[in-house]
Amino acid sequence: MQTIPAQTGQPLSADSTSHPRGLYLLFATEMWERFSYYGMRAVLVLFLTKAMMMDKAFASKFYGGYTSLVYLTPLIGGYISDRYWGNRRSIMTGGLLMALGQFTLFFSASNYGPAETHALSHWLLYLGLGVMIVGNGFFKPNISSMVGSLYSATDKRKDAAYTIFYMGINLGSFLGNTITSLIGDKEGHPEAFRWAFLACGIAMLLSVVVFNWGKDKHLHTPTGEPVGLTPAQSGGVMGIYALLPVLLAIILGILWLDSAMFPTIAPLLGVAVIGIAFMIFSDKSLSGADIKGIMVIFIVSFFVVFFWAAFEQAPASLTFFADEQMDRTIFGYTLPASIFQNLNAIFVVVGAPLMAMVWTALGRRGAEPPSPLKMAIGLGLLAAGYLVMCFGVTNLQPGVKVSMFFLVALYFLHSVGELCLSPIGLSLVNKLAPVKFASLLMAVWFLANAAANYLAGYMSSLYPDPKSTGPAPQILGYQITSLYDFFMVFVVSAAVAAGLLFLISGKLAKMMDARNYPAPTTQA
């Protein structure tokens, strides 16, 4: 089990450079949870296509539907936590639900096959994913916001705390992905996928056990007040439990409708964004500077959609590519296709401290780019990653496999891009959001992720299938007949988004200044 690193120094003193023990508790809790989320996701599309016999286009959209709902439910989980449950209860409940979901997938994968002959297994698949979507809604927003609560508002260690926390996320992702790829993704053995889900269920239980063990001891503010308790005078704590089956039924209905009938999630996301914008902008107490800051959050979130939609091809089309089109042999050993997604976690863990050094060095010369510019650079790197890939697949002859160099280079560029955009965006939201709307604006950030994941599933469904006899997939009138055409879509979309964001980044930086936005963060 991950040990909680021992602390030296005075964890409660704000000027100390060490961090409170609570941070390491949250680190370990989130590490095991991300083990479970990313470990499962790494093999999901392969499980869907190779065991459940779904076609790649359907599996891609199903993956997009699932991952987008995962980032939509935090809206509900955040609301319930703020008003009724508090962070601790939400994390415990969410965590247990996610473990239950993984075990349900284990049963689904123990009796797999096409829907016509293995209907029960398919229903268990929907049920397992649905339970995990609900669970994540309670878990993810609460664990992320608790990190900040361990520090005072002005504590300089806050950015560093989020960087350390981001390391925990990626360490968990690395461990989970490695294990599930090795035990679950075995060429010609679709029955092995269940072990991946079992491992994820156990990891999720570990997360809950670690959190439960340490929550009362270590989760407090610098002045010793406990953090994340049930809000005082909150009635209806138990009543919410009765609502969980209703929420689950709604989520299952949406997941099913979206995958089997018609796009349901996209309009839902649109309604959520408009609803939130209306709630915020109709508030008369906001100052002009507040409104400018909030507009920056909305504008930046829009661009972020293009980033994650291309980035999240990793567990979908890029895994199909690794599986079918890439030479995966190294020293005579054939690596599982799903293991390549790990490169992202590795590059992030190694790259985060380096990136922090780069920003600090630039900052010393007064040349650190403002956050929107960093994000434009992130988008540019994303386009560059796909451009490298395009070189690898130019004039690809049928039956020829591409060197893994291209995918490794793509993941490297994407990971540096992620470091320019993701942690920076998180702290931008944190700092620009008026206190009153802090959670709601964090939800906007997650909503951008939800929309992006949905789009990612749709884009992955355009992956060209050489065996298909039907018409070639199209996007905005552009025909995709080869892998080159396919990857080019991401080069163009990310490059256009990067260019536009670059052009308006100066204006955005000015709008942020209006709110006395502090000097850009020096942490990655």
Residue number, 34 or 118, with CB nearest to ligand PHE? 34
- Angle between helix 438-460 and helix 288-311 axes, rounded to 10 deg: 30
Q: How far is the CB of 412 from ligand PHE (least distance, A)?
A: 16
Integer Cα distance of 277 and 263 in angstroms = 23
CA triple 394-399-405, angle to 5 deg: 50
**Residue 259 touching ligand PHE (CB under 6 A):** no
Minimum CB–partner distance for residue 379 and ligand PHE (Å): 15
Residue (94 or 473) nearer to ligand PHE, CB: 94
Q: Is 422 in the site for ligand PHE (CB under 6 A)?
A: yes
Contact 363, 427 (CB under 8 A): no
Q: Tell me the β-bridge partners of 402.
A: 326
Residue (402 or 419) nearer to ligand PHE, CB: 419
Give the residue among 413, 425, 376, 382 at the shortest CA–CA distance from 523.
425
Report the nearest approach of ligand PHE to the CB of residue 104 (Å).
22
Tell me the site size for ligand PHE, rule CB under 6 A. Answer: 5
Q: What angle do CA 407, 483, 448 make, to 5 degrees?
A: 70
Q: How far is the CB of 73 from ligand PHE (least distance, A)?
A: 12
Q: Is 169 in the site for ligand PHE (CB under 6 A)?
A: yes
Cα→Cα distances 197→35, 177, 225, 330, 512, Å: 11, 11, 38, 27, 44
Minimal distance in Å, beta carbon 299 to ligand PHE? 17
| Residue with smaller CB distance to ligand PHE, 181 or 422 | 422
Residues 126-165: x where in contact with ligand PHE by CB under 6 A, - otherwise, as a string? ----------------------------------------
Of 11 and 141, the one with the shorter C-beta distance to ligand PHE is: 141
Quick one: 51 or 355, whose CB is closer to ligand PHE?
A: 355
- CA-to-CA dists, residue 143 to 33, 48, 205, 285, 504, angstroms: 10, 30, 16, 29, 33
Query: What is the identity of the amino acid at 76?
Result: I
Site string for ligand PHE, 29-48 (x = CB under 6 A): -----x--------------
Judged by beta carbon, residue 57 or residue 147, the one nearer ligand PHE is: 147
With H, G, I as helix, E, B as strand and everything else as coil, classify residue 478.
strand
What is the closest distance, in whole angstroms, from the C-beta atom of residue 130 to ligand PHE in the complex? 19
* Nearer to ligand PHE (CB atom), residue 34 or residue 215: 34
Report in angstroms how near the CB of residue 158 gets to ligand PHE at its nearest.
Answer: 17
* Token pair belonging to 338: 């799903």
- The DSSP letter of residue 330 is E
Residue 449 in contact with ligand PHE, rule: CB under 6 A = yes
**Which residue from 387, 380, 378, 376 is spatially nearest to 410, judged by alpha carbons?**
387
Two structure tokens written together for 328: 């995966």
Tokens 């016509």 map to which residue? 116
User: 180 vs 422, which CB is nearer to ligand PHE?
Assistant: 422
- CA separation for the pair 448, 276 (Å, rounded): 12
Q: What's the CA gap between 28 and 187, in Å, rounded? A: 32
Dist CA 431 CA 296 (whole Å): 11
Nearest-approach distance from CB 449 to ligand PHE, in angstroms: 5
Please report which helix (H) or strand (E) contains residue 475, including its range: strand 474-475
Distance between CA atoms of residues 39 and 183, nearest Å: 11
Measured from the CB of residue 451, what is the shortest distance to ligand PHE in angstroms? 12
Residues 64/315, Cβ–Cβ less than 8 Å? no
Contact flag: residue 177 with ligand PHE (CB under 6 A): no
Which CB atom, from 325 or from 449, has the smaller least distance to ligand PHE?
449
Nearest approach, Cβ of 377 to ligand PHE (angstroms)? 17
Residues in contact with ligand PHE by the rule CB under 6 A: 34, 169, 422, 446, 449
